[in-house]
Amino acid sequence: MTTLAQQYSITQEPFYQQQSNEVALYEAAYKARLPVMVKGPTGCGKSRFIEYMAWKLGKPLITVACNEDMTASDLVGRYLLEANGTRWLDGPLTTAARIGAICYLDEIVEARQDTTVVIHPLTDHRRQLPIDKKGELLQAHPDFQLVISYNPGYQSLMKDLKQSTKQRFVGFDFDYPAPELEARIIATETGIPLADATRLVKVGGVARALKGHGLDEGISTRLLVYAATLINGAVAPTDACRMALVRPITDDADIRATLDHAVDAIFG
């Protein structure tokens, strides 16, 4: 019978290209069971990094995609009404604390601030989770660690972490890799020739230069991988770029024309 820990275990090594000394630093944070905060733009590898570290450390990983409708009960758990009465169902945060998993709250700022407060007792010396509805004070498993991530580029007064939350974490800043490294990542991830991966990175660079000048966000490494996947599937590079890189990020006709021209120039 599969245990919860086995259910959330990562059995195959995820591909992750280290950019600096982030792997050693994360290992040090985990050794001390310090909560970790990862900040960076959309699609730059934050989630892949956490997945890789969970695999490297041999720990289960429970990921929660945060959203504005998420309640504390969604994290902690709730009673379910059944034919024979009620049954308690642990939420992902409670499950992680019980089994000693890494709990990864992705895009934490999307959740309401009154929801994120429930993580506070787990992020200091107490390492406890009060489950008020059950009258239970759960002591976190020794292997438990809490990780959160968010995109600082989308911060606003209404969507930001309180200082009382931020100062409970050690932090990592992520960004898109350097062009040569990003090209190698794309080529390794998808199998396309390095020359084509390098051209895709050039297209990405054009879009990223437009951030704040017509684009809210540049082309992510994730989208570059999507384009490379299409190219590897025999789609023409210019069509793959328009489909994966240009159309998803903007509806502005002038910006599209600028990016389409860049695609034609780079792959022409």
What separation, in Å, do the N-terminal and C-terminal C-alpha atoms of the chain show? Answer: 56
What pLDDT sits at residue 157?
Answer: 47
What pLDDT sits at residue 49?
Answer: 98
Question: What does pLDDT average to over the chain?
Answer: 94
Instruction: Report pLDDT digits (tens) over 41-84.
Output: 999 999 999 999 999 999 999 999 999 999 999 999 999 998 88
Per-residue pLDDT averaged across 120-139, rounded? Answer: 95
pLDDT at residue 165 greater than cutoff 50: yes
Whether CATH 3.40.50.300 fits 4-173: yes
Sequence ranges of the domains in the chain: 4-173, 179-267
Per-residue pLDDT averaged across 147-156, rounded? Answer: 80
Helices (H), 12-71: 22-31, 46-57
Which residue, among 101, 89, 122, 107, has the nearest Cα to 40 in the 3D structure? 107
Q: Which is higher by pLDDT, 153 or 231?
A: 231
What pLDDT sits at residue 155?
Answer: 53
Q: Which is higher by pLDDT, 156 or 265?
A: 265
Per-residue pLDDT averaged across 24-34, rounded? Answer: 98
Instruction: Report pLDDT digits (tens) over 203-220.
Output: 999 999 998 888 888 999
What residue type is 253 in one-letter code? A
Distance between CA atoms of residues 248 and 254, nearest Å: 15
Distance between CA atoms of residues 97 and 133, nearest Å: 17
Residue 58 CA, chain-centre distance (Å), reads 19
Indicate the angle between helix axes 46-57 and 22-31, nearest 10 degrees: 60
pLDDT at residue 154 greater than cutoff 80: no
Q: Which is higher by pLDDT, 152 or 190?
A: 190
Which residue, among 127, 69, 47, 124, has the nearest Cα to 93 in the 3D structure? 127
255, 214 Cβ separation under 8 angstroms: yes
pTM, rounded to two decimals: 0.92
Q: Which is higher by pLDDT, 140 or 152?
A: 140
| Residue 262: band (very low, low, confident or very high) from pLDDT cuts 50, 70, 90 | very high
